[in-house]
């Protein structure tokens, strides 16, 4: 079960764990975002899907995330990238939920599809192959 959603602020925070992290292939989506720092979340577990990871709302020993402050238009762009559908969040590839970080509550994209048979990352971070 995901963490309860709370009101979105004018400058929402997003916690990223895969190709959106600094130095990886999709980080350019966050070029205008303010990097706040790194954290470890125990409210999510990562699964290695090969070209990218998926997060599920399962307890872990701490998975690595980077936290960014984003504008509403930038968040909407990330929603398109992650196939998050505001009106039908379970119909796309990801839904998002608020998770606690050291920088405050942040949106985390959670994978909607099964991850059976995928390598599990319960501590540390995902690394591209």
Measured in whole angstroms, the distance separating CA 10 from the mean position of its chain's CA atoms is: 19
Please check whether residue 41 is in contact with residue 105, taking contact to mean a CB–CB distance below 8 angstroms: no
Active site residues: 82
Alpha-carbon gap, residue 88 to 81, rounded angstroms = 16
> How far is the C-alpha of 73 from the C-alpha of 78, rounded, in Å?
9
Q: What proportions of the chain, in percent to the nearest 5, are helix, strand and coil?
A: 10, 35, 55
């Amino acid at each position: 079960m995901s963490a309860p959603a709370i009101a979105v602020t004018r400058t929402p925070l997003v916690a990223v764990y895969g190709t959106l992290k600094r130095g990886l292939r999709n980080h350019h989506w966050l070029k205008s975002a303010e990097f706040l720092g790194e954290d470890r979340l125990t409210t999510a577990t990562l699964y290695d899907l090969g070209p990218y990871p998926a997060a599920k709302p399962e307890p872990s020993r701490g998975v690595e995330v980077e936290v960014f402050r984003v504008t509403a238009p930038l968040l909407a762009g990330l929603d398109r990238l992650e196939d998050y559908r505001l009106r039908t969040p379970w119909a796309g590839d990801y839904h998002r939920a608020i998770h606690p970080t050291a920088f405050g509550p942040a949106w985390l994209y959670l994978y909607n599809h099964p991850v059976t048979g995928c390598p599990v990352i319960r501590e540390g971070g995902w690394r591209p192959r």
